[in-house]
Structure 1
Amino acid sequence: MEHKASSSRRRPFDRASIISWLWNTLSGWSLPKLWRFASLVGPLVYHFSKRERRVTELNLKAVYPEFDTHTRRAMAKQSLRHSTATMMELGFAWMAEPERIEASILEVHGREKLDSARAEGRGVIVLAPHFGNWEVLNFWLSSHFPFTAMYEPPKIAALEPVIRHGRERMGAKLVPTNSRGVAALLKALKRSEAIGILPDQEPDWGSGVFAPFYTRNAYTATLLPKLVARTQARVVTGVALRLPGRGFAIHFLDADERVYSEDEVASASGVNASVEASIALDPAQYQWEYKRYRKVVEEQQGHPKAKSFRLY
């Protein structure tokens, strides 16, 4: 006698539907309420998420060796509070009414850097590190400029339509992280448009070089000098600084001059210095739980050999 399918095969846990429902629910919350909630959840993340706490504290120890343990621990707690707020604000950035998001952007600093570059017929490369709420930055850029950015589908495939719609709804064009995507970025820059690059995401082997990030070398992408060499684009760093419980301040900063170098190591060093300059706005708002020092290089018979870095 056959058992009914409902009794022998239970429906799998639908994470995508739950996450999408949560984003949609939180999209209706005010920013003060989201920040208060993040202030409650953030300490739980610090205490119970061992991986995030450990990586955050190790990164802070590596880049701020002059701070004592108490200071770094307090910064780690505040950093995870901000990271929690960013996750909770995703629904707001992707699903809330555009008028609400625009109203939450209380300050914009350095817009003239983008306007003047385009007036000169030059494209603009925006280095957008994982700082503050980068999805709000994407919203503002795609609302005010023709904007193209690379996009890698999420691990949970069912969430892709939700994320893609949220990022593209104001006109942004998302392109794949491959040669076809690079070609699209070049075309956008030649049309004097703006493009976005994640400067602090570790690239695959063969797509980067080692360059200083604070006190240690970090494996850094080399896409930027190739784009600059072929388009003469202007490079700026862009962030959406969180004003806790109130809104956001967009900042566009001049990139370190080394980003324009044809030498890949020099350019990558300029990229990392530019990220450092944006972090200085409020170090606690950087996503320190990312393993930025995952790779190191060891010279062996004149050839680089990869190995895991003992920091982690």
Structure 2
Amino acid sequence: MKKSKLSNRLKAGVITKGWWLLSLLPLAWLQALAVPIGSLVWRFVKRERNIAKVNLSLCFPELSQEERDVLGKQSIIEITRTMLEMGRMWMAPKEKVLADFVSLQGIEAVEEANKNKQPIILLGPHIGQWELIAQLMSHKTNFTFMYSEPKLAELDATIRKGRCRMGGNLVPANIKGVAGLLKALKRGEMIGILPDQVPDKGQGGEIVPFYGQPALTATLLPKLVQKTGAKVFTALAKRLPKGRGFELILIPADEQVYSDDEVTAVAGVNASVEQIIAYAPEQYQWAYKRFKSVPGKNVYKK
């Protein structure tokens, strides 16, 4: 047991030092470094490649296999960029990180709602550099979002410090955390939700279409909307070429999310995710089993 704890502390120390070293590199270098690493992952990590291939075949049947493979490989490279950029997001000077945004599209509507104490829910799917969105919103206003402890518990303090350094508020990914989100909304504040994560058993979900395919989707958003009258937006920190920075894109969520019918509202969540993916499909995390947990069907089993 003692050896295990020591080993975990050493692992956490190495990872933390790695993040710090990466935080010193220019953004363009980080993103360039991801190209050979991501290409190797695509070629040799069968699990990630196969998941991406299945997802893309289901979501974009109109594309040829070659076109889907190009999209899948680029997605793996973009995910690698996201991971390499984490040290920068959490440890580089604050002003340097905030300056990574070179344009803010659609932020006026969000700022206006926030100014009027209108509760706001920000949907942040796994696309682009989602960590940067949390940093910006935490800097601008009271921003609360859910957090799950890492598998390597010794990294918890480092990640919490990084995610909260702009003033963000973390709540646990459980019933207590949901209560925290509800309280923040009732105070007229902004919260962030991951809309494309498959809910665990007992967390509440409905099977609704995602790109026309049945996908178990969390019911948390419509429940919060119905209880608070919150306004919902979908967000993307779109990575620009050659390390030029990021473009923040904020768009109103699909109108279905405000429906009194929960199934319709949950379908609106997926429609909102599809709308934001259209801005940069190659930057979406296609190597995630989005279509798991559908009864009687396992699309990932060969």
Q: Give the TM-score taking structure 2 as reference length.
A: 0.94
Residue type of the alignment partner of 2:7: P
Structure 1 position 56 matched with structure 2 position 52: yes
> 1:12 deviation in Å?
3.4
- Give me the whole-angstrom Cα distance separating, in 2, the residues matched to 1:182 and 1:38: 35
Equivalences for 1:221-232 in 2 at 5 Å?
221-232=218-229
C-alpha offsets along residues 17-48 of structure 1, whole Å, 9 cap, x if unaligned?
Answer: 22111111100111110111011211111111
> Gaps spanning 5+ residues in structure 2: where?
none
Say which one has the larger Rg.
1
Equivalences for 1:1-312 in 2 at 5 Å?
12=7, 14-206=10-202, 207-244=204-241, 245-297=243-295, 307=296, 309-312=298-301
Residue type of the alignment partner of 2:113: A
SS in 1 for 2:207: strand
Greater alpha carbon shift after TM alignment, 174-183 vs 88-97: 174-183
- Give me the whole-angstrom Cα distance separating, in 2, the residues matched to 1:236 and 1:12: 42
Greater alpha carbon shift after TM alignment, 110-119 vs 214-223: 110-119
Residue type of the alignment partner of 1:121: K
Contact 2:121 2:230 in 1 (8 A): yes
> 1:239 deviation in Å?
1.3
Greater alpha carbon shift after TM alignment, 199-208 vs 130-139: 199-208
Which consecutive aligned stretches of 4+ in structure 1 deviate over 6 angstroms post-superposition? Answer: none
Contact 1:122 1:190 in 2 (8 A): no
Sequence identity of aligned pairs in percent? 47
- Give me the whole-angstrom Cα distance separating, in 2, the residues matched to 1:121 and 1:31: 35
Contact 2:54 2:299 in 1 (8 A): no
SS in 2 for 1:295: coil
SS in 2 for 1:17: helix
Superposition RMSD in Å: 1.5
C-alpha offsets along residues 109-165 of structure 1, whole Å, 9 cap, x if unaligned?
Answer: 111121222233311000000000100111111011110001110111011011111
Contact 1:122 1:234 in 2 (8 A): yes
Count of residues in Structure 1 that have an aligned counterpart in Structure 2:
295
Residue type of the alignment partner of 1:271: V
Q: Give the TM-score taking structure 1 as reference length.
A: 0.91
- Give me the whole-angstrom Cα distance separating, in 1, the residues matched to 2:259 and 2:173: 23
> 1:181 deviation in Å?
1.1
Residue type of the alignment partner of 2:216: Y
- Give me the whole-angstrom Cα distance separating, in 2, the residues matched to 1:68 and 1:120: 48
Contact 2:291 2:299 in 1 (8 A): no
Contact 1:94 1:163 in 2 (8 A): yes
